Chains A and B, each alone.
Chain A
Amino acid sequence: DAGVIQSPRHEVTEMGQEVTLRCKPISGHDYLFWYRQTMMRGLELLIYFNNNVPIDDSGMPEDRFSAKMPNASFSTLKIQPSEPRDSAVYFCASSLQGTYTGELFFGEGSRLTVL
């Protein structure tokens, strides 16, 4: 079975441009999480969805960030306009609530560089 799939793996853009990161969770998983990883802050939860509904977006840095999950097999994280401080690795993870064990399955991440 395929794991969590993220695209693009690498993105280099200029300040002010729009960035869209994509995620396909594991089929059947009902939770989807977006994390950001930086050297300074480590892993930060940005937002998570349950059954395609955003549950907690308190970790989203500011209004420039938005996330959607139009269906159970796809989610996007958008940054508009992007800034150099947004440079980080963004991870998507999914989980199956039925286990309720906290086990997350992570994608390989999208490395974003904003110049």
Chain B
Amino acid sequence: AQSVTQLDSHVSVSEGTPVLLRCNYSSSYSPSLFWYVQHPNKGLQLLLKYTSAATLVKGINGFEAEFKKSETSFHLTKPSAHMSDAAEYFCVVRYQTGANNLFFGTGTRLTVIP
């Protein structure tokens, strides 16, 4: 079955410390992978994407993610959390056959403590 799993529903970090949001996917195809961020009362915004180029992908606001095929993972990281990073983060998987086959994870709420 094709799916995406976000291992943590809630992550809390102190400002200035590293962020790690975990995502695993299951697929028999070569997927495209995305991280989206949703700030309160806003729509989702693309943070970064992997589409079979470099395995380490850099996104906006200092975020990056590494595609690890052997682990079927696409974890999102940031070296130093900022208060403005507090939001909901969604890992999304897309398969190559059609435009509607986007699988959204259940989301990870990131809290940043001053």
Contact = CB atoms under 8 A, between A and B. Distances in A.
Interface of A: 4, 31, 33, 42-43, 45, 48, 50, 55-56, 91, 93, 95, 97, 100-109
Interface of B: 32, 34, 41-46, 49, 51, 90, 92, 94, 99-100, 102, 104-107
B44 A106 contact: yes
Contact of B104 (A42, A55, A97): A42
B43 A91 contact: yes
A4 B41 CA distance: 15
Instruction: Classify the secondary structure of A's interface with B.
Output: strand
A45 B102 contact: yes
B23 to A, nearest CB: 14
A20 to B, nearest CB: 19
A65 to B, nearest CB: 17
Given A43-B104, A45-B102, A102-B49, A108 B92 contact: no
Nearest to B45: A106
